[in-house]
Structure 1
Amino acid sequence: MSDELKKGLEGVLVAESALSFIDGDEGRLIYRGYEIEDLARGASYEEVLYLLWHGELPNREQYDEFRDTMAAERHVDDGVIDTVRELAEQDEEPMAALRTGVSQLSAYDPDAAADPTDREANLRKGRRITAKIPTILAAYDRVRNGEEIVEPREDLSHAANFLYMLNGEEPNDVLAETFDMALVLHADHGLNASTFTSMVISSTLADLHSSIPGAIGALSGSLHGGANQDVMEALLELDDTDMEPVEWVEHLLDEGRRVPGFGHRVYNVKDPRAKILGERSKELGEAAGDLKWYEYSTSIEEYIMDEKGLAPNVDFYSSSTYYQMGIPIDIYTPIFVMSRVGGWIAHVLEQYEDNRLIRPRARYVGSEHEDFVALGER
C-alpha cells in the first residue's frame, strides 16, 4: 500500500463508472457515450435522467411513461411543506431549507423501509426525490416572499413546471428550453465533491434519503455549487461601479481578491458547458435588447485568459443566464441540486451494484509518546 500523500485525493482513482467522462485537455463532457453538446441541444432533462439511470436513451413509449410517472410524484406532503414554510419564515438559508426538506421526504416514502440495495425501490425513490425537489424549492421561495404556494402541474416538463411554481405563471418556450438545457448541463460531472459524498454515504449501506441530503450539504460550499451565486454577485458589484470590466478585474486582483467562475480541477481549457450557456446568455440578452451581462462576462473572460491563463467554468455563464431569467440569486445553488440529483442517484445505484465501504487512511503526524497524567494531577 502506497504511503504517498494525495491531498484532496487529486489524481486518485477510487471507482469505475459508466456515467460521465471528462476530457480536461480537449474540453469534452460525455454522458454514457453522448457528447454534452448533442444532449443539451437535442434532449430534455427527463431523457437525460432516463439515460443516466437506465443506461440508454428512451424510445417514445419509454419516455412518455417515465415522464408521466415522475410528473405524478411532484406533490409534496403537508408535513414537509409545513417544515419548509417554517424554515422560510425563520429566514433559513435556501440550501439548508432544501436539505432539511429532502431529508424529511423519507417519512412519507412508501419505499423508505426497502433494502438500501434494492434497485427497483431506489429507482422509485429516486424519481420521487427528483420530482419533489422543485416543489420544495419553489414553495420555500414563495413563502419567504409572502406569496401563496403554487401547486405543481403534471402537464408541464420538469423545467417548465418549476418556473411555473416559482413565478406563478407558465413560462414561455424560450425560458423553459433554456432552463431545461441548464438542467441537462449540470446533471452529472464525474466524481466531484458532492457526488463522492453521496457515494461515501451509500457505501455504508445507508439509503438514498441519507446520501442525497449529504450531497446537498457538500454542494452548498462556495468551492463547489455555491460559486454560481458568487459570480452573479461579482457582476452586480461591477455594475454598481463606474469602471470598465477590465479595470474592475484589475482592481479586484490588486485587493488580493479572486474573480469567481474561473479555473477547474479537471478542465485545462474552457468548460464545454460554459460555451453552451455563454451562447444562451447572449441569446437571452439579444431577446431582451440588453447585452450588458454577456458583454461584461466576455470582457472579463478575455482578460483572465490573457493575463492568468484561466478559462471560465460552468458557473461563470450559468449565473448571468439565470439572472436574465429572473431567478433569485440565492437559489442558483439549489437549482444546481435540482439537476445534479439525477447524477447523484445514478452514482449511488452504481455504488450499490459493486459496493465496497469507502475507507481511506490518513497519515498520522501527532505525538506518539505522551505520558498520561490523571485529571486531579494536571
Structure 2
Amino acid sequence: MIEKVIKMSAFISAEQAIARLGVTRATLYAYVSRGMIRSQARPGSRRRAYLAADVERLVQRKRGRQDPSKVAAEALGVHGMPVLRSGLSLIDAGELHYRGRPALTLAREATFEEVAALLWDAPFPADAAPAPTRAAQRKRWAKLPFVAAAQACLAHASADDVGAYHRSPATVRRVGAGILRALAGVATGQAPSRMAISQTLVEGWGVRGRGARAKLEAALVLSADHELNASAFTARCVASTGATPYMAVIAGLAALSGHKHGGHTERVAELVDEAGEPRELLAARLRRGELIPGFGHPLYPDGDPRGAALLELCEGRGAARARAVAEAVEELLGIRPNLDFGLVALGRALGLPRGAPLMLFAVGRCAGWIGHCLEQYEDDQLIRPRARYVGPAPGEVEEAGLR
C-alpha cells in the first residue's frame, strides 16, 4: 500500500493558526491535544506546523455557531462548510491530494489500479470478473450516448450479481473492479476483460504514439476523485440508502452527464474545434456574453493543476489547436485550463473518438465513487438533509380553489 505523506505546504505556523482562529497559544495547544488540529514537526526545527484544513474547519465551525442559518444555506455550495467526512481527497494550497499523496505525482508514477487501491484502502482485486455482456447487447448500446449505454450495461450486470447486496468492503471492491472494467468495455465497444483499464482503452481505441498508454493512465488518475463534487455526493446519497455500488455508479453517471459537470467537455470540444483564429473567436463569444468553457475553477484560483498537467502531455499536430486556444484565453483573460479542457486537448492529441474526454472522466471518477461508497457503507447513516422552507406559512393559503 502506498505510504501516506502530507506535504508541508498544507501546514501553517503556530502564529498563523492563532491569528486565523483568534485564540491564544494555549488554546491552540489544547486543540492539538484533543485531536482537533493535526500538527507535525518542521524539518530542521524544534517548532511545529499545523494542518491548515483542520484550522479552517474550526473557523467554519465557530462561524456556524454564530450564524447557523447562513452556514446551512451555504453548505451545499463550492465554498461552503464541509458537510461530510471523507478521507479520500483534499484540495489545499492549489494542489489535489489523494489520501495525502499529491495527485500530480501519482499521475506520473502510479497506475490507475494503484490509485484505485489507494482510494479503496486495499489492494486492487485483480482477479475480479468484469460484468459480463453479450455481443447483441454491445451492438445495441453502441447506438446510445456513452452515459446511457454505461447505465444500461450496469443495470443488466446488477440484475445478475445478487452478491452485490452484501456490503462488506471486500465485496464492494470486487464489484467496483468489475464496474470499472465494464465501463472501459462500453467506452471502447469491446467485451470487458481483466486487462489493465488503460490497456483496454489503448487497444479498444487503437491508440498509437509514444507514451500513449501512460498519458491515458495520467488522465484516469487525475480524474479519480475531487472531494465532494456533484457526482460523488450523488453516489454517496444513493449508497447511504443501502443500494448496491451498481446503483450508486448509475446515479453518479447521471450527475456527471450534466453540462455543468463532465458533460462540460462537449462545450470545450466545440470551442477547440470552432474554425477561425482563436483570439477572434474568443472576442466574438465575449461580445455575445458567453462564458469560455474549459477555463478557471473556483477551488484553484491560480489555475487547475490537473488541466495544466494534461496539457503538458499533449504533443504533435493534433494538440496545436488546443494549445493555441489555451494561450489565447490566458493572454486575453488571465485564466488557465481546467480538467475538462485538459481531457479534450489530450483526446485531440491522441486522436481519440470525439466522446472520449467524457469517457475518460467517467471511468476515472468511478474509482472515487466506489471509494465514497466504501466510506458511506462504513458510516451506515442515511444522508437526509433538511430543507429550509420558503413557501407560504400554514393557514395563509386560501383553500377554496384547491382540489
- TM-score tier by shorter-chain length is 0.7 to 0.9
1:93 aligns with: 145
Is contact 1:187-1:341 (8 Å) kept?
yes
- What's the offset of the Cα at 1:227? 1.5
Q: Does the alignment pair 1:356 with 2:381?
A: yes
Instruction: Say which of 306, 331, 338 aligns to 1:302.
Output: 331
Instruction: Say which of 329, 334, 359 aligns to 2:354.
Output: 329
Is contact 2:185-2:192 (8 Å) kept?
yes
Whole-Å Cα distance in 1 between the matches of residues 253 and 385 of structure 2? 22
Counterpart amino acid of residue 103 in structure 2:
I
Q: How does 1:1-378 map to 2 (within 5 A)?
A: 2-4=68-70, 5-6=73-74, 8-10=76-78, 11-23=80-92, 26-54=93-121, 66=124, 68-70=126-128, 73-74=129-130, 76-78=132-134, 81-89=135-143, 92-109=144-161, 111-114=163-166, 117-139=167-189, 150-152=190-192, 154=194, 156-167=195-206, 171-172=208-209, 174-237=211-274, 240-241=275-276, 243=277, 245-281=278-314, 284-285=315-316, 288=317, 291-305=320-334, 310-368=335-393, 369-373=396-400
Whole-Å Cα distance in 2 between the matches of residues 274 and 202 of structure 1? 30
- Residues 193-242 of structure 1: CA deviation (Å, up to 9, x unaligned): 000000111111112111110000000011111122211211111xx12x
Whole-Å Cα distance in 2 between the matches of residues 36 and 212 of structure 1? 22
Counterpart amino acid of residue 164 in structure 1:
E
- What's the offset of the Cα at 1:356? 2.0
Output the TM-score relative to the length of structure 2.
Answer: 0.76
Counterpart amino acid of residue 342 in structure 1:
A
Counterpart amino acid of residue 266 in structure 1:
L
Describe the shift of the 1:36–1:217 C-alpha distance in structure 2 as closer, same or farther (beyond 3 A): same
Counterpart amino acid of residue 397 in structure 2:
E
Which secondary structure does the structure 2 equivalent of 1:85 belong to? helix
Counterpart amino acid of residue 132 in structure 2:
V
Query: Which structure has the larger Rg over C-alpha atoms?
Result: 2
Describe the shift of the 1:120–1:289 C-alpha distance in structure 2 as closer, same or farther (beyond 3 A): closer
- What's the offset of the Cα at 1:14? 1.2
- What's the offset of the Cα at 1:269? 1.6
2:45 aligns with: none
The root-mean-square deviation of aligned C-alpha atoms, in Å, is 2.3
- What's the offset of the Cα at 1:318? 1.6
Is contact 2:181-2:192 (8 Å) kept?
no
Counterpart amino acid of residue 34 in structure 1:
R
Whole-Å Cα distance in 2 between the matches of residues 22 and 331 of structure 1? 26
- Residues 163-205 of structure 1: CA deviation (Å, up to 9, x unaligned): 21233xx745511111111001111110000000001111111
Counterpart amino acid of residue 242 in structure 2:
L
Is contact 2:205-2:353 (8 Å) kept?
no
Task: Provide structure 1 residue ranges, at least 5 long, that are not aligned to the other structure.
Answer: 56-61, 140-149
Which secondary structure does the structure 2 equivalent of 1:191 belong to? coil
1:146 aligns with: none
Describe the shift of the 1:19–1:290 C-alpha distance in structure 2 as closer, same or farther (beyond 3 A): closer
Task: Provide structure 2 residue ranges, at least 5 long, that are not aligned to the other structure.
Answer: 1-64
Is contact 1:75-1:135 (8 Å) kept?
no
Whole-Å Cα distance in 2 between the matches of residues 18 and 247 of structure 1? 45
- Residues 326-375 of structure 1: CA deviation (Å, up to 9, x unaligned): 22222421221111000000011011111321112222222232232377
- What's the offset of the Cα at 1:104? 2.0
Output the TM-score relative to the length of structure 1.
Answer: 0.81
Is contact 1:268-1:311 (8 Å) kept?
no
